[in-house]
A = this chain, B = another copy of it.
Amino acid sequence: MLYFEDFPIGERRKFGTRSVTEDEIMGFARDFDPQPFHTDRAAAEASIYGGIIASGWHTCSIAMRLICDGFLLDSASLGSPGVDEVRWKKPVRPGDALTLFGTTTIAKASTSKPDRGVLTNLMELVNQNGEVVMTMHAMTMIGRRPA
């Protein structure tokens, strides 16, 4: 079990990889973000993107799954108050394989609740060509290691 104390500041760690299919991209977008460049192949080809791209929220959700499988499910996570500076830097396209890198940038122990603290992790999602497709600064409320 990983606690607040187990995330050294400044160490960039590599987590898992997940690929995304056109069906998944279109399915997510039909539910949550039905803009034509996510759901309609012809419209996407005529758009500034030149083809189907994933909803940014789908990309965030894929990153979240890699965060869960990478460390969060084995941690004393208590949820998150929020995320700063989500940046969709490059399109995510069908067939892309996305790898998560995480760097803890801030570790702030709670003063009011001594059993927990908040970590800020810079999360970077990188595609199979080494391009950073998304970055975000994600906060995680997490338990402190019991004495």
Closest chain-B Cβ to A39's Cβ sits at a distance in Å of 10
Is A88 positioned at the interface, with any CB of B under 8 Å from its CB? Answer: yes
Chain A positions near chain B (C-beta within 8 angstroms)? 28, 31-35, 37, 47-49, 53, 55-57, 60-62, 64-65, 68, 72-73, 77-88
B residues less than 8 Å from A77 (CB atoms): 35
CB-nearest residue of chain B to A28: B61
Q: How many of these chains are in the complex?
A: 2
CB-nearest residue of chain B to A62: B32
Other-chain residue from B35, B47, B86 in contact with A73 (beta carbon distance below 8 A): B35
A57–B55 CA distance with the chains assembled, in angstroms: 12
Shortest Cβ-Cβ A-B pairs, 5 listed: A32-B61, A82-B87, A83-B86, A57-B61, A32-B65
Extra contacts, 20 of them, besides A81-B88, A82-B88 (Cβ < 8 A), are A31-B61, A32-B61, A32-B62, A32-B65, A33-B64, A34-B68, A34-B73, A35-B68, A35-B72, A35-B79, A48-B78, A48-B79, A49-B79, A56-B80, A57-B61, A60-B60, A81-B87, A82-B87, A84-B86, A86-B86
